[in-house]
Amino acid sequence: MVTRVAPRVPATKVMDWETAASWRKTVHGTVVFTNGVFDLLHPGHIEVLDMARREGAALIVGLNSDASVKRLKGPSRPVRSTAERALVLAGLEAVDAVVVFEEDTPLALVQQLQPDVIVKGGDYSPDAIAGGDVVTARGGRVVVVPLVRGQSTTSIIEKLRG
């Protein structure tokens, strides 16, 4: 007989900083962190999230707020709101927690959550990953996942605009 555990309700995976820090302390095993905008979810995002989750027992995703996305990507972004992007991410099996940050980088969030591993897509070098030094100073690892060619939110938006 197969015993099944009901999946968590996605909304319960979206946490504020304090709740996430408390939750993180309860996780047994390696805690992995990745971050991004995740505006229009595509196969490249799924690959990074899947590879990140394979690095440990739990995956926390830091999500840029709408204001930080506008500063980083311009006034026409994000396409989807923070709440929409957070819920979509939280609905993924690989994701254990989603935490929104207002800053341009997740450095302060990484300092608060103290993950054991930080993962980013291949457009970053390990020394340029915000919070990587915090993780390695504690004996953790920084992992760079190769990008999936031809996959980007910008290219999706351009294609939709024709």
Boundaries of every domain in the chain? 10-161
- The span from the CA of 25 to the CA of 120, in Å, is 23
Walking along the chain (162 residues) 10 residues at a time, the average pLDDT comes out as: 78 98 97 96 93 98 98 94 98 97 98 97 86 97 85 70 77
- For residue 3, give the amino acid letter: T
- The pLDDT assigned to 148 comes to 67
Report the alpha-carbon distance of residue 24 to residue 33 in Å, rounded.
Answer: 11
Task: Tell me which CATH homologous superfamily contains domain 10-161.
Answer: HUPs (3.40.50.620)
Closest CA to 153 of 74, 76, 45: 45
Q: Tell me if the pTM is above 0.85.
A: yes
Q: Is 33 helix (H, G, I), strand (E, B) or coil?
A: strand
pLDDT at 5: 73
Instruction: Report, in angstroms and rounded to the nearest whole number, the Rg of the chain calculated over CA atoms.
Output: 15
Provide the pLDDT for residue 80: 95
